[in-house]
């Protein structure tokens, strides 16, 4: 079996855990035909070596796939996913990175929540498990990003 994340333990050395992006959680929950295998393996590997975190934005994004809060909480048990509030400092950093994005010609309809997730990882000394690494790498170069090594078609 091929590992989803290369050098995971070494890459986690400066991180206090892994913030799990909603796209990874939704891949597994919906059994996405393209991404569920990679996301499931990456999630399992991360859980084996680190504490997994989610924040209110990730919780809200994942909630779209569930009809009740009880079903959502069963899918994101607190025994597996530590819930962490968003730091105020992350709000400031998210705003500054979003402003830079807009000044570089970024579309206004691009979601500010992605910048908040990246800022939370940066401020909270968390690695980020995501499929959408490009923007996070551009605007949050200090965070450790766990993402697929190549894009699937």
Q: Are 118 and 128 in contact (CB under 8 A)?
A: yes
* 12-31 residue pLDDT tens: 878 999 999 999 999 999 99
User: Pick the residue with more confidence: 4 or 94?
Assistant: 94
pLDDT value of residue 32: 96
DSSP β-bridge partners for residue 53: 19, 82
Q: Where are the beta strands (DSSP E) in 6-147?
A: 18-20, 52-54, 81-83, 127-129, 145-146
Give pTM, 2 decimals: 0.90
**Residue 47 pLDDT greater than 60, yes or no:** yes
Q: Which carries the bigger pLDDT value, residue 30 or residue 112?
A: 30
Q: Is the pLDDT of residue 4 over 80?
A: no
Q: What is the pLDDT of residues 113-147, one digit of tens each?
A: 999 999 999 999 999 999 989 889 999 999 999 99
Q: Which of 131, 128, 153, 132 is nearest to 143 (CA)?
A: 128
pLDDT band, residue 149 (cuts 50/70/90):
confident
């Amino acid at each position: 079996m091929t590992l989803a994340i290369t050098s995971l333990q070494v890459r986690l050395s400066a991180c206090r855990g892994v913030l799990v992006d909603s796209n990874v959680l939704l891949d597994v929950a919906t059994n996405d035909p393209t991404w569920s295998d990679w996301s499931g393996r990456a999630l399992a590997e991360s859980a084996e070596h680190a504490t997994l975190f989610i924040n209110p934005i990730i919780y809200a994004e994942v909630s779209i796939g569930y009809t009740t809060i009880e079903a959502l909480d069963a899918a994101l048990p607190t025994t597996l996913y530590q819930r962490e509030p968003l730091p105020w400092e992350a709000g400031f950093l998210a705003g500054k990175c979003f402003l830079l994005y807009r000044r570089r010609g970024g579309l206004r309809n691009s979601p500010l929540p992605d910048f908040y997730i990246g800022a939370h990882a940066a401020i909270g000394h968390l690695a980020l498990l995501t499929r959408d690494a490009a923007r996070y790498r551009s605007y949050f170069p200090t965070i450790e990003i766990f993402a697929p090594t190549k894009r699937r078609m």
